[in-house]
Amino acid sequence: ILCLVFFIFMSHFHKNNLIQSFLLFAYLFIHYSLCIYTHALLVLHKSSVQKIYYREMIIPVRCFTCGKVIGNKWESYLGLLQAEYTEGDALDALGLKRYCCRRMLLGHVDLIEKLLNYAPLEKLTAS
């Protein structure tokens, strides 16, 4: 009902352009529906969603330049570095020959743990 009232308000606001007001309404409706759906997922399934957020890393899935899949190589790369491989040897062992793909792993800074300190999910589990 609130959405319908908002659409009527927007159609009066854009009297001469009903299509523009409908597109704006559709955009806002979809955006807020996704926000509500995401919030419901966080509240109802916070334990499973929490496991997903903590397990994942934020690294690009593909190389920005050539498009080769590199997202699946991050954990292997970290494992090789823990096994005291040099960066170059680890990248060679993973089969990354192009310098654009090598740059994606060498230049990546894993900030997900620091960003999760400010996530709303942390506040939900703390209360």
Q: Does 125 reside within a domain?
A: no
Q: Are 40 and 67 found together in one domain?
A: no
Structural contact between residues 84 and 22, judged by C-beta atoms closer than 8 angstroms: no
Q: Looking at the whole model, is its pTM more than 0.95?
A: no
Number of domains observed in the structure of the chain: 2
Instruction: Quick: pLDDT tens for 56-92.
Output: 557 888 999 999 999 899 889 989 999 999 999 999 9
- 40 and 69 together in one domain: no
Same domain, 64 and 96: yes
Same domain, 102 and 74: yes
* Domain of 12, in residue numbers: 1-44
